[in-house]
Every structure is written in structure tokens, then in C-alpha cells.
Copies of this chain bind each other. A is one copy, B any other.
């Protein structure tokens, strides 16, 4: 699967619920670290949607213990339905050979960075995105805003990375950043995430339920094209440099 347009991933720990995501989400993010028998679930999977396999350690907001975490993720990447694997930037930086190993199983790599405390300065955020893109196919950054300005810093970093040709997914977390999940695609964010409806788990702060997020995103896509109106107004407006009002 190629992320030409922005795609929406439904996050779940139960692959039998994939049917609920069809027609709404483009992908399933399978949170192996919060699932019962994740490898058995993958073996039994006969759904339609391609899978992002994620096995998040406690370091990064997940529940997987370190022992066997990457082995399980590697086993997951062997399944045909698994088209993406999410690996934390910090993990792949410490074990650079991982990227090559996973690629041999014909999966694309989402290299992710999370900061649940704050939003890094713009130059640091840019450097993180560049590093993620060096190792992977999609650079994912999820950072926590301490104020509204931080949400704009995240959107600017996403917008500029997109303009530099990077496939980036950017999220400003928490309540303050919640709307970035809706409008991120307008700035080039390639992947959105939402919990599958009726799934009680909280995977990340500020998430919006799948059906609601999908319809909000759709609404931002469906604005009427008003090129004609703009042209009309432009032709009527011509403010002179030296404005002299005669009224």
C-alpha cells in the first residue's frame, strides 16, 4: 500500500474487530503490546485492511516488556497482511541493522518519535523528522503541546517536511492538540490514527474515536471549490498603494 493521500489507521488490540473499521479506516494499527496472543491473532487474520504492526515498549507509552518485544514484531512482519511496522526512532538508532532486517520481510517502516511531556523546538523537531525519514519510509512524530503555539510548531514542521518531500505523520497530542488529528492532512500528514469504536483502550492522549474523526476529516475535504468566487472578488478589488478615499 502506498500512502499517496493521507490514510486513516484504526487502532485496536483485537483483530477480529477489523470488520468494524472497513469503509471508514484505510488501515488497522494492531497494538500487539496491548493484545492477547498477538501472533496467534495475526495467524488467524483474514480481514481486508492492511495492518500496521506496533509493539510499543513501556519507554514509549506502550505495555510490552523489553524481553522478546522486537522478536515478536519481527515475527509479525512476516505475515502478508502486515504492510507496515512501527519502530521507535530511539530503538532503530540503537540497532541500525533492524531496519535492513525488517525490510527483507517486505514491509514499510514507520519510524516514530513520541514526546509525552512537551513539543521540541522547531529545529529539534525538524532534526527528529529528518532522522526518522533516514531510517524509514514514514516519519511519525507525536508530541505533547503545552500551549496553542506548540500545535502550530508541529503543523509547521509537518508542512515543511512535506514540502521537502518527506512522508511524515505528525500529531500534537492531548486536548489542546486534538484538532491537529483532523486538519493534519491539510498540511501533508500522511497517517492519522483513531481508536476503533467500542474499543475501551486509550492508546494516546487526545485521540478522537474512529467514526467521528473520519467524518470530521471528510468534512474538511468537502469544502466547496470557490475558485470562481475568488476570481470575481479579485477582479473587483484593487486597493491602490496610495489609498485616497473619496467618501
Q: Is the CB of B237 within 8 A of A58?
A: yes
A233 touches B (CB below 8 Å): yes
A226 touches B (CB below 8 Å): yes
A residues with a Cβ closer than 8 A to B are: 57-61, 66-70, 90-91, 94-95, 114, 116-117, 144, 148-149, 151-152, 155-156, 159-160, 163, 173-175, 178-179, 182-183, 186-188, 202, 204-208, 212, 216, 219-220, 223, 225-227, 229-230, 232-234, 236-239, 243-247
Q: Is the CB of A223 within 8 A of B237?
A: no
For the complex, give the distance between the alpha carbons of A125 and B95 in Å: 47
Q: Is the CB of A247 within 8 A of B188?
A: no
Chain B residues in 8 Å Cβ range of A186 = 148, 151, 179
For the complex, give the distance between the alpha carbons of A234 and B202 in Å: 13
Q: Are A95 and B245 CB-contacts (below 8 A) given A152-B152, A202-B229? A: yes
- Shortest Cβ distance from A209 into B: residue: B224
**Among A155, A175, A247, residue most surrounded by chain B Cβ atoms (within 10 Å):** A247
Q: Is the CB of A223 within 8 A of B208?
A: yes
Chain B residues in 8 Å Cβ range of A155 = 152
Q: Is the CB of A229 within 8 A of B245?
A: no
For the complex, give the distance between the alpha carbons of A226 and B206 in Å: 7
Q: Are A94 and B205 CB-contacts (below 8 A) given A59-B237, A152-B152? A: no
Q: Is the CB of A220 within 8 A of B179?
A: yes
For the complex, give the distance between the alpha carbons of A104 and B135 in Å: 66
Q: Is the CB of B226 within 8 A of A202?
A: yes
Chain B residues in 8 Å Cβ range of A149 = 156, 159-160, 163
Q: Are A66 and B246 CB-contacts (below 8 A) given A149-B159, A152-B159, A175-B223? A: yes
**Among A187, A204, A236, A238, residue most surrounded by chain B Cβ atoms (within 10 Å):** A236
Smallest Cβ distance from A227 to chain B, in angstroms? Answer: 7
